[in-house]
Structure 1
Amino acid sequence: MSRHYIGILIASLYIQFSFAQAPAPLSSSEIRLKMDRLNVLGSVLYFAAHPDDENTKLISYLASERKVRTSYLSLTRGDGGQNLIGTEQGIELGLIRTQELLQARKIDGGEQYFSSAYDFGFSKTYDETFQFWKKDEVLREAVWLIRKLQPDIIITRFPPDERGGHGHHQASAILAHEAFTAAADPKRFPEQLSEVSIWKAKRLLWNTASFMRMQGESKDQLKLDIGDFNPLLGKSHGEISALSRSQHKSQGFGSASSNGKFFETFEYVAGERAQKDLFDNVDLTWKRVDGGQAVKTEIDMLLQNFDEKHPQRSIPQLANVWQALQGLKDGYWKTRKIKEVEDLLLSCAGIKLEAVSATARATRGSSLPFKTEIIARNPDVSAKVVSINGKKVDRQLPPNEYVTFDLPTTILKSTQPYWLEKPHSLGKFEVKPEDVGYPMNTNLPAAVINFIINDVPITLTQPIQYRFVDPVMGEVNDYLEVVPELSASVSQPVLLIATDEERSITATFQRNDASLKTSSIEVKGIPTGWEVYPDKFDVRFADGSNTFTQTIRVKNSAAAVEGSLDFIANGRPLESIREIAYDHIPRQAWFPTVAVKVRPIAIEKTVTRVGYIMGAGDLVPEALRNLGIQVDILNADKLTAASLAQYDAVICGVRLLNVNAKIGSALATLYAYANDGGVVLMQYNVNSRLQEENFAPKPFTLSRARVTEEDAKVTFTDPSDPVLNYPNKITERDFQGWVQERGLYFAENIDAHYRTPLSMADKNEAQQEGSLLICKVGNGKFVYTGLSFFRQLPAGVAGATRLFVNLLAKDK
């Protein structure tokens, strides 16, 4: 088994990755379900904006009940959201959510695709969204995928207006409608027509919902009961959906299963109206293909004679189906069904295939030895390995015995995720046209194996994996990482330094190629006003050591401007290796260039030591430590008056009240600490699933209000308020350069005891005064803030850092 949890792997529901991977081992009931699918010729594209937007219950129903090809196009990878399982944000959160979607599709039977749109954060209007996404380019990609997948029906999750609740949601519906029309128009994106044909889907529907005012108009809506129990899978679609949706762990979307009748509703958008069923007037049979009746005859015979105790006995008839398919004219369904038949041949033969490396990493340009392990586990199977990576082997597979081939391959390319190969804009990744849509790289290091099973040639591309046994997890398989020959990391990626102050960072260099002995390093791009020493040095690896450390001093000499220190190795930008590891998804690595942001700051600090109770996960503690403030991580269930007395302030991490079941009983201790003169600062929480509803010293409620424009004007409602004046004088300049947003989940219905010194709003919206609340508690104070300090401080936003330090100070 692999590291990632996938619940009960419904392996019969083949998911198309970037390459023709060997299908997972199947039970006989799963094989039967795939055989049934051979007689169904239909395709659906579900269309939305983010990971978690998809209707997993509907995807499961369509894929395994209606047995149509079911694809989900998530325009983004969810990079701009919040993370409930760790501190990753932005690019790394997108990597996590990409894999969570793939795990979800393994369970519900759908296929996963993406556009190159970047999730830049919450957007209130589609107009703003399109400014960042480069609408025509994302539309081009959506049209490409429609022409490639040829869906009979396109279904959107959201409406194209404010009922969608989010600018990205609205934009996805608008793009779906425009792409629906453009895909059928030969004048739109004609350059695509050398590889794909125009495609006119039968209809476009909106899958209405009971949340976010998305019920739509009940009149003339199509209703469909999708609550079926599937005996071949042993589960209802409600149960499968819960397993699938629960893979979105970074968003805290664990779901309970459901059984019984369940109605989905659909509202007409474009194309031909459906009266009784989603597939009204869509031919889902072999009649839609010239010569298809002969194929159907062979499939019917296959189904009639299937022996669940001996699936290998279906191999000769599967070969007959394959031969019948060869007689068809080239086209979409011929290609699709040939692939399904080949998968079934492998499954009925009991073929298990792995390409295994003895090392987790290789370097670009290296020769990597690996083993290809193949076994045909069912008896009476005629299966031969013809070649591997072009090398002829001609080896017949004996029954139920592993055959191992030792072959090297030359690693030519990094495994950097393809959408991260080039710098991206605020709203869009720069990807090559041939990569559009794929969830993962198409060119991972792999073994390309040519089989013959009952005279049917089959080619598979099996990615090379590193396999080891973990004492807790058991057998673990991770994708091979192809890394730079030399990589590095820095102790502080962002430096905020006052004039005439000097700070030191530690750069740690890692050689990933044992033959590398030395490398010349330069620090370039040094902005005006900064001194860096040394800015040139050699990295030399001692025998037996693969690491080298160098201390670098950075000084803000005078009139410094912000910028970036770029690390160059032998004339090329140096890369770091960033790994992401969670039990429910495969380990991932990416390779950002090594740089240190340097920013001048004028700051006074009155706090020297703070306690921090972690919530969902953020990097505020590291940012405060980089200012020279001691930060101790506290356990909510171990707080005492004596233990808190040593701190100038205690900070609650983001969404603490949503994720920590013990925080409710700790609040009294926290407020007693404030009453004795301490400062308690609570960062934002969402207004659902609160562990304690009445959590504050004085009442207020949490709303969904937010200010998403990071440059929105901020008004000081009381310029004399202490938090705006001590120990740092806060001015409008301190609200310049913020990233992604001002804040989220602001307070409302605020008790009169609170001071609310700030007011702000997005364009054309009412002013919000709930971003920052301060309340006197005995001799101390309580602060609640929805300002997104969890984004600003790790990004090194100087003004936000100055304001946060003020919030920690006792009122003067």
Structure 2
Amino acid sequence: MKRVPITLILFLLCQNIFSQTSPPSDIGTIQQNLKKLNVLGSVLYIAAHPDDENTRLLGYLAQEKHYRTGYLSLTRGDGGQNLIGTEQGELLGLIRTQELLAARRMDGAEQFFSRANDFGFSKNPEETLKLWDKDKILGDMVWVIRNFRPDVMICRFPTTGEGGHGNHTASAILAQEAFSAAADPKRYPEQLKYVNVWQAKRLLWNTFNFGNTNTTSPDQFKINVGGYNPLLGKSYGEIAAESRSNHKTQGFGAAKQRGDAFEFFKTILGDAPKNDLMDGVDVTWNRTPFGAPIAAQIQKITKAFNSDAPQASVPALVALLGEVDQTVATNKAFQTVRLTEVANSSYDYWHKQKTKDLKDLIAACAGLWFEAYSNDASYAVGDSIELRLQAIKQSNADVKFDSFSTSQSNYVVVKDGALAEGQLQTIPFKLKVDKISQPYWLESPHGIGSYAINDDLKVGNPENPDAPAVTYKFTIAGKEITYNRKLVFKYVDPARGEIYQPLEIAPPVTANIADKVYVFNNTKPQSVQVKLKAFTNASGSISIKPVAGWKISPEKIDFTGKNKGDEWTVAFSVTPTDSKPNTSNFEVIATANGKSFSQGLLNIKYNHVPAITIFPPAQAKLVNIDLKTAGKKIGYIAGAGDLVPDALREVGYEVHQLTENEIINGDLSVYDAIVTGVRAYNVNGRLTYEQPKLLEYVKNGGNLVVQYNNNNGLVTRELGPYPFRVVNERVTDEFAPVTILDKNSEVLNYPNIITQEDFKGWVQERSVYMVSSIDPQYKAPLQMNDPDASPSNGSLIVANYGKGRYVYTSLVFFRELPAGVPGAYRLFINLLSKPKNQ
């Protein structure tokens, strides 16, 4: 396993800012950070998903109490639905990772993760812990706790199930075990090469009152977190709303709240607090050896601080940093006498935290700004990056730019390092990169429950801790001080202004397959198009690895003289060798300049998060199935975002996205079927007015297929021609048995005969937000249930209405069709295919 120095890991675990690489340096932030210097307490909040965290409490703890505050989300939210786009699975997890980091920039807390994968809704903790691999996820939690060293741990959910989701309950079960395991040297002893054991003072449950569940009570310990922070100009209810509103993929925009707001807590483990969250914990410098003089010096600096001349505090802050360094040397001598006791003390930990805080304060007060940029957004692995290092001093503070270094270079002395006030210094430099910039948790294939992490020391980090960076060395007020800055690309967008985005380190040539799934229902060949992009000057070839049961032609396609930035497309002919059902994965190999790669290029761009670039495996699926189709033209009404239209085009349908004008005023009879996208009746308010036209289309002989909707926030309750009710009931086991109640059902027989075989190979789940209270006019041909749950027929209902047919389904076709599940294709085509004689 690759190892990174633990000091680097500890430093990088708390780096969350990406909107700019330099931390904020406004007067309000400086004064807030001066207050934090004298507080040595920490709190870790623990839950299962993005959006589970209590943003008002986090903001209060970080900005009012000045504790080091963190949120450990066990997953990255990969299994949820996306209300703003079509990304699912690990792609959605990438977006939600950035949404959490944006939220933390608002509330002031830090963000951590385990390797757990959000595999979708889970009804019980037993299933969750089995799929996650309990021991691995517990080890990750222990690792984060031993690094972060929280005085108080808080879990969002209880172990008794009131949180509903099995992931929620599992997070509380694991938090209780991790509370003790982190302090036990016999648990995960391999971690003790890098960290010490740690015992938090207490574990609390942050009880709640939402929905129909109230777990608070007057006798519980409570905190008023509704105060106002004059330095920030906001109440913690306002900060919480700004933080939570970053969860845009989940539609969690929140109103700003002002006034008193109480949070309630129940003690789970450790001593119960009586008067304060930190009862029994010394959160002053007295918790460290030789800390009293440091505290006195901080008070003196804070009292003398002049907001009109923050640079005047620089000499005293530098002297304070020297005082901290000196006490470290004294403490080392102290450790030789009391080694065991001091090894378990907080001094070394708080020295690291406060040294970083002090250094940032010194730079902010000195008006010292410095960052490092690449000249281009992307480079090929192995190439040299052209850099620009910039620094400016915007005060009269005594600052000299001495040198800089990178991971591939020793310190380079700056010839003229004297920084004149107000004069920007720019230094060109080159850096060779030897690693593709793939998120560390996506570097290797993974199973359902957890990501495969190649280096356990990276666990906990929200982003790659070893991304290219530059170390700056300055002499400030006579003391040498070093800083790290992540290397980024910066550009100006005409509409949005200056934009920062992560630097892309790519394979020499990427290969994007046009479709993720190719569906064959005969032995006719299909063209597989591959879009190539060069990230360096390259020559080579493109090929598809041979696949049993398939003929691929040609064997390879050569290319020469491609320049960086060139894009071109090649095509292969793929044919099944027989008509037998066959599902196979295939892989494209790009050989460039003598080296072979098999990675595509995927860009995710939304205005509320930084640009995301990954290099997924250049793979797709070939599916040869017995599939009959009927009809040709489909009208589609967009919902929250899904890939069903692309899947239908793959099997030969013409899919047209319907506009409101077309629905209200157009001739809908030209469509063989109209389909509403997932959650359309949650996100499209205009469907209230369009619904009568859609039902008229059915009455006149049309075929309307409505995909699942959330039971909360429906724009109309009249979803169909006859009554039914959407409820929060699911079948989360993708292997759950399906009973065919009506073998003669039209939707199970035309044009494809549906059998038990068609429910094999489904992914993640079967059905979500099923229906109940079903009017007798509807027929329900299927029945299914999770283990230990009652059977339900609410996954698919069908009714004749006038001359036409209405279908409502909560089956997760939006997951199954993009995954190339043969039976899901066959059944969905049936739903679209109303016999002509009806």
Residue of structure 2 in register with 1:158 after alignment: 157
Residue of structure 2 in register with 1:444 after alignment: 467
Report the 3-state secondary structure (helix = DSSP H, G, I; strand = E; otherwise coil) of the residue aligned with 2:281.
Answer: coil
Residue of structure 2 in register with 1:530 after alignment: 550
* Contact in 1 for aligned 2:507/2:597 (Cα 8 Å): no
Residue of structure 1 in register with 2:336 after alignment: none
**How far, CA to CA, are the matches of 2:480 and 2:794 in structure 1?**
66
Give the direction of change, closer, same or farther, for the CA distance of 1:20–1:199 in structure 2 (3 Å limit): farther
Give the direction of change, closer, same or farther, for the CA distance of 1:542–1:478 in structure 2 (3 Å limit): closer
**How far, CA to CA, are the matches of 1:781 and 1:168 in structure 2?**
39
User: Deviations for 1:519-566, whole angstroms, at most 9, x for unmatched residues?
Assistant: 133322503x22221233323456898233222111122235311111
**What is the CA-CA distance between 1:623 and the residue it aligns to?**
0.3
Q: Does 1:595 align with 2:594?
A: no
**How far, CA to CA, are the matches of 1:447 and 1:70 in structure 2?**
27
**How far, CA to CA, are the matches of 1:560 and 1:187 in structure 2?**
52
Give the direction of change, closer, same or farther, for the CA distance of 1:573–1:564 in structure 2 (3 Å limit): farther
Query: What RMSD in Å do the two structures reach over aligned CA positions?
Result: 1.8
**How far, CA to CA, are the matches of 1:188 and 1:220 in structure 2?**
35
**How far, CA to CA, are the matches of 1:25 and 1:179 in structure 2?**
34
Residue type matched to 2:628 in 1? E
Report the 3-state secondary structure (helix = DSSP H, G, I; strand = E; otherwise coil) of the residue aligned with 2:204.
Answer: strand
Superposed, 1:406-555 pairs within 5 Å as: 406-431=428-453, 432-514=455-537, 516-517=538-539, 519-527=540-548, 529-541=549-561, 546-555=566-575
**How far, CA to CA, are the matches of 2:558 and 2:131 in structure 1?**
42
Report the 3-state secondary structure (helix = DSSP H, G, I; strand = E; otherwise coil) of the residue aligned with 2:59.
Answer: helix
Residue of structure 2 in register with 1:254 after alignment: 253
Residue of structure 1 in register with 2:6 after alignment: none
**How far, CA to CA, are the matches of 2:19 and 2:677 in structure 1?**
44
Q: Does 1:400 align with 2:422?
A: yes
Report the 3-state secondary structure (helix = DSSP H, G, I; strand = E; otherwise coil) of the residue aligned with 2:162.
Answer: helix
Give the direction of change, closer, same or farther, for the CA distance of 1:134–1:409 in structure 2 (3 Å limit): same
* Identical pairs, percent: 43
**Quick check: 347-356 or 738-747, which moved more?**
347-356
Q: Does 1:215 align with 2:239?
A: no
Task: With the length of structure 2 as denominator, give the TM-score of the two structures.
Answer: 0.93
Residue of structure 1 in register with 2:588 after alignment: 567
**What is the CA-CA distance between 1:358 and the residue it aligns to?**
2.1
Report the 3-state secondary structure (helix = DSSP H, G, I; strand = E; otherwise coil) of the residue aligned with 1:501.
Answer: coil
**How far, CA to CA, are the matches of 1:187 and 1:21 in structure 2?**
42
Residue type matched to 1:347 in 2? A
* Contact in 2 for aligned 1:21/1:460 (Cα 8 Å): no
**How far, CA to CA, are the matches of 2:582 and 2:291 in structure 1?**
70
Residue of structure 2 in register with 1:663 after alignment: 687
User: Deviations for 1:311-350, whole angstroms, at most 9, x for unmatched residues?
Assistant: 1111111112211211143611111111110010011112
**How far, CA to CA, are the matches of 2:189 and 2:351 in structure 1?**
24
Could you tell me which of 332, 341, 348 is aligned with 1:331?
348
Residue of structure 1 in register with 2:30 after alignment: 31
Residue of structure 2 in register with 1:772 after alignment: 796
Report the 3-state secondary structure (helix = DSSP H, G, I; strand = E; otherwise coil) of the residue aligned with 1:30.
Answer: helix
**Quick check: 683-692 or 784-793, which moved more?**
683-692
**What is the CA-CA distance between 1:429 and the residue it aligns to?**
0.8
Residue of structure 2 in register with 1:710 after alignment: 734
**What is the CA-CA distance between 1:391 and the residue it aligns to?**
1.0
**How far, CA to CA, are the matches of 2:49 and 2:583 in structure 1?**
34
Residue of structure 2 in register with 1:648 after alignment: 672
Report the 3-state secondary structure (helix = DSSP H, G, I; strand = E; otherwise coil) of the residue aligned with 1:733.
Answer: helix
* Contact in 1 for aligned 2:581/2:625 (Cα 8 Å): no
Residue type matched to 2:256 in 1? S
Structure 2, gaps ≥5 residues long: 1-12, 332-346
* Contact in 2 for aligned 1:22/1:460 (Cα 8 Å): no
**How far, CA to CA, are the matches of 2:178 and 2:458 in structure 1?**
19
Report the 3-state secondary structure (helix = DSSP H, G, I; strand = E; otherwise coil) of the residue aligned with 2:582.
Answer: coil
* Contact in 1 for aligned 2:582/2:625 (Cα 8 Å): no
Could you tell me which of 343, 362, 367 is aligned with 2:384?
367
Report the 3-state secondary structure (helix = DSSP H, G, I; strand = E; otherwise coil) of the residue aligned with 2:670.
Answer: coil
Q: Does 1:87 align with 2:110?
A: no
User: Deviations for 1:274-318, whole angstroms, at most 9, x for unmatched residues?
Assistant: 122211111111111111101001101111101011111111111
Residue of structure 1 in register with 2:3 after alignment: none
**How far, CA to CA, are the matches of 2:565 and 2:434 in structure 1?**
26
* Contact in 1 for aligned 2:536/2:564 (Cα 8 Å): no
Residue type matched to 1:332 in 2? Y
Report the 3-state secondary structure (helix = DSSP H, G, I; strand = E; otherwise coil) of the residue aligned with 1:719.
Answer: coil
Give the direction of change, closer, same or farther, for the CA distance of 1:217–1:28 in structure 2 (3 Å limit): closer
* Contact in 2 for aligned 1:637/1:666 (Cα 8 Å): no
**How far, CA to CA, are the matches of 1:473 and 1:378 in structure 2?**
29
Give the direction of change, closer, same or farther, for the CA distance of 1:746–1:249 in structure 2 (3 Å limit): same
**How far, CA to CA, are the matches of 2:696 and 2:544 in structure 1?**
50
User: Deviations for 1:90-134, whole angstroms, at most 9, x for unmatched residues?
Assistant: 111000000000000000000000011111111111111112111
**What is the CA-CA distance between 1:695 and the residue it aligns to?**
2.9
Total equivalences in the alignment: 796
* Contact in 2 for aligned 1:783/1:807 (Cα 8 Å): yes
Give the direction of change, closer, same or farther, for the CA distance of 1:544–1:41 in structure 2 (3 Å limit): closer
**How far, CA to CA, are the matches of 1:139 and 1:633 in structure 2?**
46
Superposed, 1:304-323 pairs within 5 Å as: 304-323=303-322
Report the 3-state secondary structure (helix = DSSP H, G, I; strand = E; otherwise coil) of the residue aligned with 2:91.
Answer: helix
* Contact in 2 for aligned 1:381/1:399 (Cα 8 Å): no
Superposed, 1:676-687 pairs within 5 Å as: 676-687=700-711
* Contact in 2 for aligned 1:20/1:461 (Cα 8 Å): no
Residue type matched to 1:498 in 2? N
User: Deviations for 1:559-593, whole angstroms, at most 9, x for unmatched residues?
Assistant: 35311111223373411010111000000111111
**What is the CA-CA distance between 1:217 and the residue it aligns to?**
6.1
**What is the CA-CA distance between 1:263 and the residue it aligns to?**
0.6
**What is the CA-CA distance between 1:679 and the residue it aligns to?**
0.8
Report the 3-state secondary structure (helix = DSSP H, G, I; strand = E; otherwise coil) of the residue aligned with 2:403.
Answer: strand
* Contact in 1 for aligned 2:17/2:105 (Cα 8 Å): no
Could you tell me which of 812, 815, 826 is aligned with 1:788?
812
Report the 3-state secondary structure (helix = DSSP H, G, I; strand = E; otherwise coil) of the residue aligned with 2:799.
Answer: strand
**How far, CA to CA, are the matches of 1:441 and 1:543 in structure 2?**
29
Superposed, 1:598-609 pairs within 5 Å as: 598-609=622-633
Report the 3-state secondary structure (helix = DSSP H, G, I; strand = E; otherwise coil) of the residue aligned with 1:304.
Answer: helix
Residue of structure 2 in register with 1:731 after alignment: 755
**How far, CA to CA, are the matches of 2:653 and 2:581 in structure 1?**
23
Give the direction of change, closer, same or farther, for the CA distance of 1:63–1:104 in structure 2 (3 Å limit): same
User: Deviations for 1:244-268, whole angstroms, at most 9, x for unmatched residues?
Assistant: 0000001100000101000101111
**How far, CA to CA, are the matches of 1:675 and 1:255 in structure 2?**
40
* Contact in 2 for aligned 1:379/1:400 (Cα 8 Å): no
Superposed, 1:138-153 pairs within 5 Å as: 138-153=137-152
Residue of structure 2 in register with 1:722 after alignment: 746
Residue of structure 2 in register with 1:5 after alignment: none
Report the 3-state secondary structure (helix = DSSP H, G, I; strand = E; otherwise coil) of the residue aligned with 2:210.
Answer: coil
* Contact in 1 for aligned 2:40/2:285 (Cα 8 Å): yes
**How far, CA to CA, are the matches of 1:72 and 1:355 in structure 2?**
29
**Quick check: 228-237 or 549-558, which moved more?**
549-558
Residue of structure 2 in register with 1:356 after alignment: 373
* Contact in 1 for aligned 2:727/2:772 (Cα 8 Å): yes
* Contact in 1 for aligned 2:706/2:808 (Cα 8 Å): yes
Give the direction of change, closer, same or farther, for the CA distance of 1:799–1:20 in structure 2 (3 Å limit): closer
User: Deviations for 1:484-532, whole angstroms, at most 9, x for unmatched residues?
Assistant: 1011111122111124232212112211112x12x133322503x2222
